[in-house]
């Protein structure tokens, strides 16, 4: 979960302008940060997910979905290799992977500790200049040279070090609580080009994002969904991979037999209200097709957009009903949409 719902005296329109034309900063205050270290650290993490991390180069990162024995999503995390035998995890659901501790019992050389690191992230077209403005001049070139899911250690202008990680849609700043608090104060009081943004704006940003399918744990992605159902089946190696991990058998059995899919819904007109999480999606005769997982009004599209879990036979282009309005089903990220009537 990302930070506050909103910021007092920071208008939502101002936040939106920041992520569409400038730079907006989001505090990641409710993440669970863990340090997993030791000669068995990589093998332990590999045993918890279909996505391998033991082969990460030093300083590189991966987005990982940890799985349950049934093959459903247990937790999400960004995993960074911070040392030859050390990994740092930022768990988006705010909890440890459910099978972390019990699986660790099968490994002798591993340590699992709460990390003293916290983070915030910066999004928007001017995000690079924004994060560079917070660090020492000598380290700005390193940030500019980062590729997606690479990180580097930098010196901050407020004192102390931080790790800057580049993702597909932003830059994350990982550091101690003391340094993060000082950087955030500097950002708010001395960096007018960076706007603090909250959860309400993040939901709008997720709906409009065209770079990735920005589903979120535990609303769009959760223990009731498999990786195939949420468009993350690319993480699952084929059955000839030979590596065992929590949920392997369940995932291989579920391949090609999805019960639902993560879809987009766009309102048929500009007057449609915003549905609530959990609102039912129905066909013309009132038959149940699924439910809404996230929704927000889109300034870019001039109408409400939503994510939903839908039945497999409810395909893009279908017209459905939710919250008393008509909607059209779409893939996500949303393609260019026709003008709203």
Task: Give the pLDDT of residue 4.
Answer: 66
The edge-to-edge listing of strands for the beta sheet with 111-114 is 61-67, 73-83, 86-91, 32-37, 111-114
Q: How confident is the model at residue 1 (pLDDT cuts 50, 70, 90)?
A: very low
Tens digits of residue pLDDT in 25-68: 999 878 999 999 999 999 999 999 999 999 999 999 999 999 99
Task: Give the pLDDT of residue 209.
Answer: 97
Residue tagged 């009537």 (tokens): 341
Coarse DSSP helix, strand, coil percentages of the chain, rounded to the nearest 5 percent: 20, 35, 45
Q: How confident is the model at residue 340 (pLDDT cuts 50, 70, 90)?
A: confident
> How far apart are alpha carbons 287 and 267 in whole angstroms?
19
Asked whether the predicted pLDDT for residue 246 surpasses 90, the reply is yes
Percentage of the chain surpassing pLDDT 90?
89
Coil, strand or helix at 239: coil
Name the phi and psi angles at 316, rounded to 5: -50, 140
Tens digits of residue pLDDT in 161-213: 999 999 999 999 999 999 999 999 999 999 999 999 999 999 999 999 999 99
Task: Report pTM.
Answer: 0.94
Largest pairwise CA distance in the chain: 64
> How far apart are alpha carbons 144 and 131 in whole angstroms?
10
> How far apart are alpha carbons 85 and 261 in whole angstroms?
37
| Residue 255 in tokens | 């391949």
Name the phi and psi angles at 297, rounded to 5: -70, 135
The mean-pLDDT minimum among 6-10, 77-81, 308-312 falls in: 6-10
Task: Give the pLDDT of residue 9.
Answer: 76
């Amino acid at each position: 979960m990302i930070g506050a719902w909103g910021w007092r005296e920071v208008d939502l329109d101002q936040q939106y302008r920041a992520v569409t034309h400038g730079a907006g900063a989001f505090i990641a205050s409710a993440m669970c940060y863990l340090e997993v270290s030791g000669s068995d650290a990589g093998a332990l993490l590999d045993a918890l997910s279909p996505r391998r991390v033991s082969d990460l180069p030093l300083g590189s990162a991966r987005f990982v979905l940890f799985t349950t024995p049934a093959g459903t999503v247990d937790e999400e995390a960004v995993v960074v290799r911070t040392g030859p035998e050390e990994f740092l995890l930022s768990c988006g659901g705010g909890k440890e992977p459910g099978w972390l501790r019990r699986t660790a019992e099968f490994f002798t050389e591993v340590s699992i500790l709460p990390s003293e690191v916290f983070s915030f992230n910066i999004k928007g077209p001017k995000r690079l200049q924004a994060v560079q403005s917070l660090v020492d001049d000598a380290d700005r070139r390193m940030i500019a040279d980062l590729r997606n899911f690479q990180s580097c250690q930098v010196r901050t202008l407020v004192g102390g070090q931080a790790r800057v990680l580049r993702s597909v849609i932003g830059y994350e700043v990982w550091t101690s609580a003391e340094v993060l608090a000082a950087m955030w104060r500097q950002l708010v009081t001395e960096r007018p080009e960076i706007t603090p943004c909250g959860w309400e704006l993040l939901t709008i940003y997720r709906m409009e994002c065209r770079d990735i399918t920005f589903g979120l744990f535990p609303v769009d992605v959760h223990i009731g969904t498999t990786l195939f159902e949420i468009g993350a089946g690319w993480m699952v190696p084929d059955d000839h991979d030979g590596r065992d991990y929590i949920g392997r058998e369940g995932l291989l059995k579920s391949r090609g037999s999805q019960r639902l899919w993560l879809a987009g819904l766009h309102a048929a007109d500009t007057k449609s209200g915003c549905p609530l999480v959990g609102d039912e999606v129905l066909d013309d005769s009132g038959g149940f097709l699924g439910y809404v997982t996230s929704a927000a009004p889109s300034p870019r599209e001039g109408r409400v957009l939503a994510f939903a879990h839908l039945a497999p036979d409810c395909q893009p282009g279908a017209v459905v009903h939710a919250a008393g309005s008509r909607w059209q089903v779409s893939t996500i990220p949303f393609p260019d949409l026709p003008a709203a009537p």
